[in-house]
Amino acid sequence: MRTFLISIFFISSLSIQAQWTEVKSYAKYDDLAKEYKDRDDGYTYVVNYWATWCGPCVKELPYFEQLLKSYNTDKIRVILVSLDFPKKIDSKLIPFLNKHNIQSEVVVLDDPKSNIWIDKVDPSWEGAIPVTIIYKGKTRVFWDGEFDDYSDLNKLFLTIHNSNTKN
């Protein structure tokens, strides 16, 4: 019971900061992802696959937070898809998100069949993280690897965000 209450406390405190969703399978995640894939709502969706155990992923997370902050009056959503291990969500992921005051939406993808769903994310993806996909309408760019700095992410974002899709 004590563990349950502590988990509820962590999830409650997390909801004040990051929007957090736990997804058990890629099929459920794909249903959620339809919200930003091929939508012509004028929003630019920045989706980053990462984990707390991935050094390059952690290094570039502030760039995504800066992007969200820089364009908070524009139509932008930043979705961080965590590939953290299920047993580490309470002990590692949630404290990490709180400590770093993550404001982006966070989705936890817990599907061990990664060899199947990685190709569905992008056929050229070999499975290494970090990986970022930026969508606006039917315009899409896939970035395999880490960003060297914020300006690299910002440039890539602006090429998609400023594209001539309908608003």
CB 76 within 8 A of CB 106: no
Q: What is the pLDDT of residues 125-167, one digit of tens each?
A: 999 999 999 989 888 899 999 999 999 999 999 999 988 655 4
Read off the pLDDT band of 80 (50, 70, 90).
Answer: very high
Structure tokens at 20: 């957090």
Read off the pLDDT band of 21 (50, 70, 90).
Answer: low
**Domains defined for the chain, CATH in brackets:** 2-161 (3.40.30.10)
Q: DSSP state, 114?
A: H
Helices assigned H by DSSP within the chain: 2-16, 26-33, 55-70, 94-99, 114-121, 150-161
C-alpha distance across the termini of the chain, in Å: 49
* Measured distance CA(15)–CA(166) in Å, rounded: 32
Three-state secondary-structure class, residue 102: coil
Structure tokens at 124: 């050229």
Read off the pLDDT band of 4 (50, 70, 90).
Answer: very low
Three-state secondary-structure class, residue 15: helix
